[in-house]
A and B are shown apart, each in its own frame.
Chain A
Amino acid sequence: MPEQHILSVDNLQKKYGDVQVLKDINVSMEPGEFLVLVGPSGCGKSTLLSCISGLTEVSSGAIQIGGKDCTHAEPANRDIAMVFQSYALFPNMSVERNIGFGLEVRKVADAEKKKKVADVADLLKIEHLLHRRPAELSGGQRQRVAMGRALVRDPKLFLFDEPLSNLDAKLRVTMRTEIKRIHQATGASIVYVTHDQIEAMTLATRIVVLKDGVIQQIGTPHEIYNTPVNAFVADFMGSPSMNLMSGTATPDEGRIRLEIPTPQGAPIELVDTTTAPEVFPNGPTEVLIGLRPEAMTDQKLNNGQNLQTANCLLEVVEPAGADTYAVVHLGGTEAIARLSADAPVQAGEMSPITFDLSKISYFDVTSGNRL
């Protein structure tokens, strides 16, 4: 089985002095996968990538790349390529030599090198830039050159460390699409670090969510989005993030009755018919109720039977183009409901909100774990 993994990381630990930056990391990856490491700043994403690349030595654990043990191999011997956040282009060399540097080091014949560089330049649409220096390029062009340098050697594995974070918002979207296109065109195996969860959702075939050096969840974007394993993942992924409201869940005749307190006094009462009542074996339980903003709406949802409507006080109304977001005080948090763009609502008014309870998640109040 390990043969078919392009990358497998086993029980990896990384300490800087007394500080443990990575704890017990286990990840593996099939060829052609686009694995995205995501998490808040300082959670250890770059460190993990750096361990995989060989620029940082692991404290313990093992790393296999293409079925070969690379735990202590030099970066050069791992058959990988890396795109750095700062691009790390060689400022004293032309774009052509930058891209061909890895081939130059491997003493590839000039003609072959030229052809490979030209092919990559063609793929990235930078043929006209080959004779420029990095200083004469725009941010997006540098980004492409950095990717060209990685692509030209056709390595087993590509590593990207926040490659888009130095670009402006618009270019970031363009380059995101570009990276996706290249991934689909080449079938490359990619490990990609970002702290931008939208990038993670759009690019990944699988996402690894990290927090404080510990993997929280590994899954497809769909799994991560719909069934987060804990409140952290629920909160971190998605924009706006999942509403986490405190409330009481009471199993009752094969259903679950929910009470969510409001500042107005009377709690909102809902009935969840999707979730098995066995989730709450101890009778009435204080829980965190997770619902995404799109599961709290004014729209006619026709996907299920588990729809409930309740009147809520809209405290703030924020039109956002395609949608209108409304802030509702529910369960001790400022929950956000996603209404249609032309919803006839005003701040300070009571308005009926439809809750799609088929999308509900429950988390333990103290541990934050999914129930």
Chain B
Amino acid sequence: MFGRRRKQEKWILLAPAILVLALITLTPLANTFWLSFTDTRISALPTPVRFIGLENYIYAFTDPEFRDSIYRTLYFTIVSVGLEGILGVAVAVLLNQKFRGQLILRALIILPWAVPTIVNAVAWRLIYHPDYGALNSLLFQLGFISDYRSWIGDPSTAMNMVILADVWKNFPLVAYVALAALQTVPGDLNKAAAIEGAGPWKRFWSITLPWIAGPLMVVMVLRTIEAFRVFDIIYVMTGGGPADSTKTASFFVYQEYFNYLRSGSGASYAVLVAGISAVLILFYYSNAKRQASGATA
């Protein structure tokens, strides 16, 4: 019965992977969901767990600090992914030209991506240092600023500085995907349009960009999902400060759990953040599916 044997094999081959994922992700997810309806606290002593229904959620929805942290996360996500997209495509277009050192530049571009996130955060923290940072010194010596500034110590600039560091590390991914897509644009298409009298700018908008839009969209959504859960870089660069100006949703939940030890209410925040992520993930899925069917058609 090879139909049945194939089916058996299918599940046997999958079983170990499913088991690991169920234990390490599914169970905790369900657990977090359950916790979010309780008033559990992290404590060394065994404490009674009380089911309190939607109370945590009602509080979470009316909590202005949580709401602000979501807004900050959205700001971080939209601005950094947006910049990564623009910079990534621009660099990809550049790398797609013929010039001396093209291969070297292509190899260099991968370096920021290879820098570990934490090292990236640490390096930029040093660069932003209020007294001895390279940024202050550079801008001062070039005459752009007359006084040293505390780039990540000032609530009005801190988030943007974190974004700059994030963009520096992550634009190469977008650039590489865009470049790979660009290399599949048929040269004839551009030549034909040029003969029709379309200028380079028009050609970019009406031919190149639509051609690479599919893969670009997928990688941008992927980056969005990643950016939305930002934690590491915030933890190292600003610790959520100053004045909570970089306290993103993940960081908010982290503090609720491990600083205030409120696991019940922390879980409700976590579930809400997970809900937003789930929407983004579904969006990714529909995009990726369209991409895949488009690619085979």
Contacts and interface: CB of A to CB of B under 8 A. Distances in A.
A touches B (Cβ under 8 A): yes
A54 B1 CA distance: 10
Nearest to B4: A72
A135 B2 CA distance: 33
B10 interface: no
Contacts of B3: 57, 72
B100 interface: no
Contacts of B5: 74
A80 to B, nearest CB: 14
Nearest to A55: B2
Nearest to B6: A57
B263 to A, nearest CB: 51
A75 B6 CA distance: 12
Interface string A71-88: 011110000000000000
A84 B2 CA distance: 21
Contacts of B1: 72
A252 B2 CA distance: 62
Nearest to A57: B3
Instruction: Tell me the interface secondary structure of chain A in the complex.
Output: loop
A54 B3 CA distance: 10
Interface in A55-73: 57, 72-73
Contacts of A72: 1-3
Contacts of A74: 2, 5
Nearest to A76: B2
Contacts of B2: 54, 57, 72-75
Query: Which of B1, B2, B3, B5 has the largest count of A CB atoms less than 10 A from its CB?
Result: B2
B197 to A, nearest CB: 45
A243 B75 CA distance: 78
A267 to B, nearest CB: 53
B9 to A, nearest CB: 11
Interface in A27-72: 54, 57, 72
Interface string B85-119: 00000000000000000000000000000000000
A73 B5 CA distance: 10
A13 to B, nearest CB: 15
Interface in B58-93: none
Nearest to A74: B2
A54 B6 CA distance: 12
A57 B1 CA distance: 9
Contacts of A73: 2
Nearest to A56: B2
B226 to A, nearest CB: 37
B295 to A, nearest CB: 22
A57 B3 CA distance: 7
Contacts of A57: 2-3
Nearest to B1: A72
A75 B5 CA distance: 12
A216 B258 CA distance: 78
Interface string B1-28: 1110100000000000000000000000
10 contacts: A54-B2, A57-B2, A57-B3, A72-B1, A72-B2, A72-B3, A73-B2, A74-B2, A74-B5, A75-B2
Interface of A: 54, 57, 72-75
Q: Which 4 A-B pairs have the closest CB atoms?
A: A74-B2, A72-B1, A57-B3, A57-B2
Given A72-B3, A73-B2, A74-B2, 5 more contacts: A54-B2, A57-B3, A72-B1, A72-B2, A75-B2
